[in-house]
Structure 1
Amino acid sequence: MNLQQLRYVVATAEHRTMTDAARSLYIAQPALSRAIRDLERELGMTLFARSGRGVVVTPQGRRVVKLAREALNAIHEIESLATHGHSPEAELRIAATPSLEPGLSARLLPAYTAEHPGVRVHIVRCESRDGVVNAIREQRADLGLTDLPVPADLITRPLERQEVVLISPPGLKLPDPVPIGSLSGLRLVLPTPGTARRREFDALFLKYGVSPAGTVETDERGGWLTAVRSGVASLLWYRTMAEQAVRAGLVVRALDPCIRRVVAIVHARRRLPAIAQEFLAVAEKGTAA
């Protein structure tokens, strides 16, 4: 038995399918299945019962998963011991999406580094909410900043509710604020069909009886503002991106009724390093203020 096998067991229990667990671990699904079978053979017990669309943790497996999590958490704590004294090597890793990183850099990080100047903060840039979730699960980040919802295996600490606005090329004749019904027939930049983010947009449109025209469908956020600048379409995005959009010569309008999304700090269900706990304390202090 080794640590890699323990990580495989925990990932399989969290994802409930070998395919999703393998994807999160960046390994081939047959390799994961083989490693789990080898461990089951070594232990002389069945950890996962195979079902039609995934796996179910057995009673014996639940005990092994619990102990595996505890072992991995202990390893994580041992690795983070050096951070308790805030040595020059202390590093806090925070995963964030491009939409939310500006707010993190402008508000939370200055407040934290002012109180803890000995800690180096590394931003793990993720293209999407799923990227933030995976960075936390794979322990590439201690904390994550993203909008909700996230999977139930993560702990969420809500920070604020951010306003969603319409960012458009100049010359588009729309009132400010824009009635949501006016989005019908409007050319929009939208996430790729079938993705979690697109399903959220589709649910929003269904709620308000809106049928926009998805001119550009892409998950590459770096090209969203470029598409708007080219005059191809408008974009629904957060108010925190308004300054960047205005600098690019674009027009930012509020929506009526106002739509807000909850932004939160998320982390795994394990004991956090001291520097991460201190960051949460600074963030909660700022929220209370």
Structure 2
Amino acid sequence: MNDLETRQLRYFVAVAEELHFGRAAERLGMAQPPLSRAIRDLERQLGVVLLRRTTREVTLTPAGEVLLRDARTALDAISAAGRRARHAGEPTPRLRLALKPDIDGGLLPRILDAYAGQEAALPVDLVLGRFGEQAQAVRDGRADAALLLAPFDDHGLDSEPLVTEPFLIALAATDPLAARPSLRLADLAGLSLPDGSSADQGPASGWHDRAGAHDDAATASIAQDASDLPEIFRRVELGSVVCFFPASLTRRYPRPELAYRPVDDLAPATLAVAWPQTSRSTAVAAFVLAATTVAAATQPQKRETPQTAVT
């Protein structure tokens, strides 16, 4: 069997993700017939069926599911190798940190200060993105490390939790639910998050977890708008959506037009630091150490129960 080519993997991933040859061809900027031929050639080369095709749908076979997972990893690695080589060849090496603005648990200034004091520290560039983009930025080499909310797709990454804090629901101050001191997820039935998903399913189904992974252009447009914090605030104030925010962000943005309320049966938000599993960078190791040290210092100290001597 000949070695697989990057082009073949890109073609297959596009079809496997779209599950539609026409949309995949449009995404790749090519005509559909050569794309279909390329996938058939790939199947012949591997000696397995990757996709089941009917007149109504395209689905992945078990072999296709395995190749999709591994092809994504391979393409990420190729992209990351090129980017990291370019970064390493820059006159002044830098550490690139991916994060969503304001989603840092209030720790970023202290982490950067602690990091700057370490011998292996490099100048830091912030790679700002939408919710859900940070893990991928580390995998594909755009960033060397990330601060991001768990859970996230951690394949190819190592991570450490930093701080855990409550998620609060942001409502219009005029919403009847805002009159309550606290809520439960069931109280949010019928309300929508900025990506259109149902608020009573919690933030894991919402826009901050799904940005960049859209089924269609309309959903992508909604999530793109929702990635802009002032725009989210305006939409919540108008009562068109509600939104979940970590408590630290709500303290940073008190607004009279909004009400932030705890949701008693909602799992908390956990901020983590993530980096590539294959990283051997002393600068990345120094950043992770700074982040975990600062986070540990912010946690309330547990009192140890005095031990009674037994005679």
Q: How far is 1:165 from its partner?
A: 0.3
Name the structure 2 match of 1:121.
Answer: 124
Please tell me whether residue 200 in structure 1 is matched to residue 208 in structure 2. no
Q: Deviations over 1:212-265 (max 9, x none)?
A: xxxxx9322312111123344432221121124314653222222353033222
Partner of 2:183: 178
AA matched with 1:125: L
2:170 aligns with one of 167, 174, 186: 167
- TM-aligned CA deviation for residue 152 of structure 1: 4.6
Relative to the length of structure 1, the TM-score reads 0.64
Q: Which of residues 214, 227, 233 in structure 2 aligns to 1:221?
A: 227
- Point out the structure with the larger strand share: 1
Aligned equivalents of 1:243 and 1:64: distance in 2? 42
* Range with bigger deviation, 273-282 or 171-180: 171-180
8 Å Cα contact 1:18/1:29 also seen in 2: no
Name structure 1 gaps, 5 residues minimum. 203-216
Q: How many residues align?
A: 258
Q: Is residue 260 of structure 2 the alignment partner of residue 252 of structure 1?
A: yes
Asked which structure has the greater CA Rg, the reply is 2
**Amino acid in the other structure paired with 1:141:** A
Residue equivalent to 2:195: 191
Cα distance, 1:141 vs structure 2? 0.9
Paired residues of 1:176 and 1:253 also in contact (CA < 8 A):
yes
| Counterpart Cα distance in 2 of 1:281 and 1:7 | 39
> Identity percentage over the alignment?
15
Measured against aligned partners, the alpha-carbon deviations of 1:157-204 in whole angstroms (never above 9, x if no partner) come to 22222311022233444222334443235x44332349xx988338xx
Secondary structure of the 1:103 match is: coil
Task: Say which SS state the counterpart of residue 152 (structure 2) adopts.
Answer: coil
1:280 to partner: Cα distance: 0.9
2: CA distance between counterparts of 1:65 and 1:234? Answer: 34
Consecutive unaligned residues in structure 2, runs of 5 or more: 53-58, 207-220, 298-311
Relative to structure 1, is the Cα distance of residues 8 and 287 closer, same or farther in structure 2, using a 3 angstrom cutoff? farther
Separation of aligned partners in 1, 2:165 and 2:100: 14
Distance in 2 between the 1:274 and 1:127 partners? 28
Deviation at 1:279, TM superposition (A): 0.6
Distance 2:11 2:272 in 1: 23
The answer on whether the counterparts of 1:19 and 1:29 sit within 8 Å (CA) in structure 2 is: no
CA distance in 1, matches of 2:234, 2:192: 13
CA contact (8 A) 2:77 2:140 kept: no
CA RMSD of aligned residues (A): 4.9
1:108 to 104, 107, 111: 111
In the alignment, which residue of structure 2 is the partner of 1:213? none
Q: State how far apart, in whole Å, the 2-side matches of 1:184 and 1:104 are.
A: 33
Contact 1:147-1:262 at 8 Å conserved across structures: yes
